[in-house]
Amino acid sequence: MGVKYDTSARTITIHTQHTTYQMKIGPYGFLLHTYYGARTEGDFSYVVGYGDRGFSGNPNDAGMDRTVSADVLPLEYSCEGNGDYRPAALSVRLPNGASGCDLRYASHHVEQGKYSLPGLPSVFGQPEEAETLVVLLKDVVGNVSVELKYGIFYDMDVITRAVVIRNVSEEDLVLQRADSLSLDLAYGKWDMIHFHGRHVMERVPERLSVGHEEITVGSRRGSSSHQHNPFVILAGKNTDEDHGPCLGAAFLYSGSFECCAGAEQFETTRLLMGIQSERLDYRLGPGEAFFGPEVALAFSGRGLTELSHLFHDLISRNVIRGPWKNVRRPVLINTWEAMGMDFDRDKLIGMAKASRDLGIEMLVLDDGWFGARNDDNAGLGDWQANETKLGGSIGSLAGEIRGLGLKFGLWIEPEMVNEDSDLYRAHPDWALTIPGKLPVRARNQLVLDFSRTEIVDAVFDQLAKVLDECRPDYLKMDMNRSLSDVYSAVAGYQSQGEILYRYTLGVYHFLDRMTERYPEMLIEGCSGGGGRFDAGMLYYTPQIWCSDNTDAIDRLLIQYGTSFGYPPSTWGAHVSAVPNGCTGRSVPFGTRAVTAMAGTFGYELDPGHLTDEEKAEIPRQIEAFKKYWPLLHQGRYYRLTDVAKDTKKAAWMVVSPDRSEALVSVVAMDSGHRMFGEFVPCRGLDPDALYEDVRSGGRFTGTMLMEVGLPIGSCFGHKWMRQYDAGQVLLRRAEDR
């Protein structure tokens, strides 16, 4: 379908509907990367330059030929030890302590359908919609073999990359680096867009020029982290939302990772992505294999918006699984911001009744329902309901809440343990702690060793007894600290990287068991908000709590950055109380709803503390969300302003697939004037169609709205705008011209 092999040119070309990816079997079996971009035909071998380059060594089997050097070739998969001095995708330490590998092409073949990876998430597809190219590379000395796997989604314009590294020697080897993606671009000047942040301010975009230094981002925290997201973009120097080349790389992995980009001495840009290599030291015994997590690649020649749409489609259709894939999520209210851990049955039932009367569909019982859990210093790991606190069994509580007409949800944090818990007292060796060293605490908790399957299964079995009793409709799975003191009591040789890799596999194993046992349950991922927001986690949890920061204005930037790689249906977003607990800022109630409506929508507040006006507003907000949901989460998402730079307004819109409807949302960032005379240029509309502002009756052609824009006053009903006011305009294709 999409793979062609030219026997004379020795090129392997992958075609999707609109893109082409090409590699070449070069001199002495080096596998070279020659092109990734807009669909075309031809042999791009001419991008490879040969010549005698000073201080760039030549392979031994080249004899007197000085024109070939791995140091300057655009390699398809780079390795340390073959004369390439650039950052390498693969580094192998031999039994004698030396590091050396020299990979050459051995063979390739095509398989129908998409490959899978044992224990790891990966993009899936029906056999007829995908195929797999497998390229085998072998070390000339015979220590390792490397399978490069390419999943080709022709109609979606996506190519996935994964690597399988096998020890084919008779002695133990140690992987010092094992990246999944190595991509050399021998042409073009590029910027790197990455998404940095911190707890309560995640995925802030930053655009850096890729020069001759090496730009490295990643996480050493045991999770994909608040600080850096495992999604990056290489963009042409003049690429913007609608113009220019760009390619994105999304790592389907939720553990420590790194991504590196840099231009070498002869201007080839190398992009690497894989698990964190620092202290990796992953041992491979004879015959054993390491499976590198998957990277999804997409290319657009028409700017960042189209690239975002490619990833939105991929994640929505071919990463997210289960019955909630294309279904509106329940409008929920979470107990945390309303009462923390200070609750009893009467308070919970009172909150449930008040929520039901407002039209809310589900009550989520957050932290504090189990063990001796009255603050965050005790009880984690003891997954038995506190029946004294709950006024009876958790099953009876869930039944009473359902009897009120609400669904029931529950919070868990299975990877963590307090030292003040029955679990820790019985099994102190289950926590990640280093013998003879006092452990680093965070939130006064330690981390359970999820690299050990028996611990994962024990925690799952304990939780399953609770879940079997109350059968929650929704589960919020949290993780509230980074990993440190990485030492496994049963590992013997302590390879930090191997333990962290197996820890992530343990998290996936836990989630696999959850989805298998409770297939109808909606699971929301969480790690102090957005600390584990990645495509790998979305394989198991169709939504992720976007951030613990629920301030509607900060959320505009967080959701703006998130939109580059992740579809709005995955953004856990709620209306919270003011002044906001993170920022102290007060934002109008309607603005909080407009911002949250861009995501999954729900509430984090105490209904008993609402004003009469706010209580009257909630049913209207919920009705609007339900009405707009097909548009919001099945339409095309467009960024209309750069939230990081525009000081006057933040604006975005969604357009239905047939372009017959669009919803424009605007938040005023400035104050003191009406903004009359200002316009919000729309995007994605049919230029020849006539659109009507459903509220005002104003009519505009698609060209008018995209070239000039929507008059911003109509977004706010032509009223005097205060700072942080928000408005929405529903545009509908008019029946006549």
Tracing tokens 């927001």 back to the chain, one arrives at 533
Tracing tokens 């024109």 back to the chain, one arrives at 67
Cβ contact 222:486 at 8 Å: yes
Cβ contact 351:607 at 8 Å: yes
DSSP 217-228: EEE-SSSS-SSB
Task: Count Cβ neighbours within 10 Å for each residue of 550-584 and write b for 16 or more, e otherwise.
Answer: bbbbbbbbbbbbbbbbbbbbbbbbbbbbbebbbbe
Q: Which two tokens stand for residue 380?
A: 């984690």
Q: Which two tokens stand for residue 627?
A: 């009405």
Q: Which two tokens stand for residue 77?
A: 């998969």
Task: Count Cβ neighbours within 10 Å for each residue of 610-639 and write b for 16 or more, e otherwise.
Answer: beeebeebbeebbebbeebbebbbebbbbb
Q: Which two tokens stand for residue 455?
A: 């611990």
* φ, ψ for residue 354, nearest 5 deg: -65, -40
Q: 10 Å Cβ neighbour count for 425?
A: 11
User: For residue 331, which of 577, 573, 551 has the smallest C-alpha distance?
Assistant: 573
- Helix axis angle for 345-358 and 612-634, nearest 10°, is 70
Confirm whether 534 is a catalytic residue: yes
Q: Which two tokens stand for residue 28?
A: 């002495």
- Which position among 534, 548, 604, 725 bears the catalytic label? 534
Which alpha helices (H) appear in 297-382, and where do they start and end?
A: 304-318, 336-339, 345-358
- Which position among 281, 614, 678, 686 bears the catalytic label? 614
Q: Which two tokens stand for residue 120?
A: 């790891």
Contacts of 708 (CB under 8 A, 6+ apart): 679, 681
Task: Count Cβ neighbours within 10 Å for each residue of 493-523 and write b for 16 or more, e otherwise.
Answer: eebbbbbbbbbbbbbbbbbebbbeebeebbb
Q: Rounded CA gap, 99 and 89, in Å?
A: 13
Confirm whether 614 is a catalytic residue: yes
Q: Rounded CA gap, 334 and 349, in Å?
A: 13
User: For residue 566, which of 633, 509, 627 has the smallest C-alpha distance?
Assistant: 633
Task: Count Cβ neighbours within 10 Å for each residue of 654-675 and write b for 16 or more, e otherwise.
Answer: bbbeebebbbbbbbbbeeeeeb
Q: Rounded CA gap, 149 and 110, in Å?
A: 10
DSSP helix/strand/coil, 595: helix
Active site residue ranges? 534, 614
